[in-house]
Amino acid sequence: MSNPAPLFLPNDGGVVMLYKGRGKGQLVGAAWAPALEGPWSRGAEPQPFGTGVEDPWLWLDKRTSVLHALFHQGAGSGASWGGAHAFSLNSGRSWNFTGPAYSGKMAWSNGTTTVLARRERPQGVTDANGTLVALLNAAQACLPKEDWGGACRSFSIGMPLPGSA
């Protein structure tokens, strides 16, 4: 188990958490607890996110009480989809996977554009209503031959989203 992504539900509704489990394969599961200290329980079956997602991050739309999640999806290479989205209408007990949400293509403030080789670890910032106003990711513009040194150094990125102040 890794990538734990808990969210405190309002009105003492406990905690819902998405997490990654790895074994012969890789899947994202959901768990619930009355408090962070537990006791935790989880669904009998894997949630419908598929095998290609990881790095979940949750937020609550406070106007509608709908839970949302973003994931890193796929290999994250080239212009293929880098992130996926899911939502839950019942406080995280069951999820609806809507699929790809954003790609690895980034337009920078200096006017250049990069198709990232890796765009992972989505984490967002929401306003008081639970509207997503910014998105942060871990990124890598290219894949080096060796995983060290100065070439293709990874970095952290963040972007404001349309509609944000």
Partner 1 sequence: MHLLFIFVVFLPISGACSVDADCSGSLGQCMAGSCQCNLPWSGPSCATLEASSLPAAAAPDNGGLYRDPKGFWTWTASPVQDDEGVWHAYIDRFTANCGVLHYCSNGEIVHAVSTSGSPLGPFAFRMLPWGLQAQAPLTVVPCRTLMPCVCLTAATQSSTLALPCLEVQWCTPTAHRSTTPTWAVAPRGASLWRSLPRHPVPGCALQCRCLGLALLTLAAGTFLTCPTPPPCSSPMTAVW
Q: In the window 91-110, what residues touch partner 1 (CB under 8 A)?
A: 96, 98-103, 105-110
Which CB contacts under 8 angstroms, 24+ apart, belong to 32-35?
32/91, 32/92, 32/93
Question: Is 112 near partner 1 (CB under 8 A)?
Answer: yes
Taking CB under 8 A as the criterion, the residue among 16, 49, 53, 57 binding partner 1 is 57
Exposed (0-12), middle (13-18) or buried (19+): which is 112, by Cβ within 10 Å? Answer: exposed
Question: Is 75 near partner 1 (CB under 8 A)?
Answer: no
Question: Is 144 near partner 1 (CB under 8 A)?
Answer: yes
Binding residues for partner 1, total number by CB under 8 A: 91
- What gap in Å lies between CA 77 and CA 70, rounded to an integer? 18
Question: Is 90 near partner 1 (CB under 8 A)?
Answer: no
- Is 50 or 144 the residue whose CB approaches partner 1 more closely? 144
Site for partner 1 in 17-56 (CB under 8 A): 17, 19, 21-25, 27, 29, 31, 33, 36-42, 44-46, 55
Please choose, from the candidates 131, 154, 133, the residue with its C-alpha nearest in 3D space to the C-alpha of residue 143: 154
- What gap in Å lies between CA 30 and CA 102, rounded to an integer? 23
- What gap in Å lies between CA 67 and CA 53, rounded to an integer? 18
Beta carbon of residue 58, minimum distance to partner 1 (angstroms, whole number):
9
Taking CB under 8 A as the criterion, the residue among 49, 53, 73, 138 binding partner 1 is 138
